[in-house]
Amino acid sequence: MIESNRQKKIAGVLQQDLANVLQNKLREAGQSGILISVSKVSVTTDLSIAKVYVSVFPSTNAREITAELNAIKPKIKHEISQLTKHQLRRMPELTFYNDDSLDYIEKIEDAVKGEENPIQNPDLLPKRRRS
């Protein structure tokens, strides 16, 4: 479904503010060596729900951090609503999802580079067959 201009504007505002708030939360928690970026925010047509796609580096901690973000989302929602109170009448409900597109891209690049060459390693052939 095509997003309206209003949805895009609200998603952009939320994405920028969420990135700042999440980075501050990481600093407060003392988590060094972990990087969080908000890769995409999509808002429903009635502006009641916002899906927030978060990319975490290193990706080994991604599930734990996404679960933790969903656990503290009322606090995050409050902080964002304070930042956007002059721009939004009603703050949408936030739901955080793990964005694993970087891992997916890395797997594709490894396959293209030929690191998993089925000619040299015939054991890989059953993995590549379609079921």
CATH number at residue 55: 3.30.300.20
Domain count, the chain: 2
53 and 112 belong to one structural domain: no
19 and 9 belong to one structural domain: yes
64 and 121 belong to one structural domain: no
95 and 45 belong to one structural domain: yes
pLDDT number for residue 3:
82
Q: Which two tokens stand for residue 18?
A: 């969420």
Residues with Cβ within 8 Å of residue 88, at least 6 apart in sequence: 10, 13, 81
Name residues of the chain where pLDDT drops below 50: none
107 and 60 belong to one structural domain: no
50 and 114 belong to one structural domain: no
pTM for this prediction: 0.76
121 and 88 belong to one structural domain: no
pLDDT number for residue 110:
75
pLDDT number for residue 94:
93
pLDDT number for residue 27:
83
Range of the domain at 10: 5-99
Contacts of 82-89 with CB under 8 Å at 24 or more apart are 83/17, 83/21, 84/13, 84/14, 84/17, 87/13, 88/10, 88/13
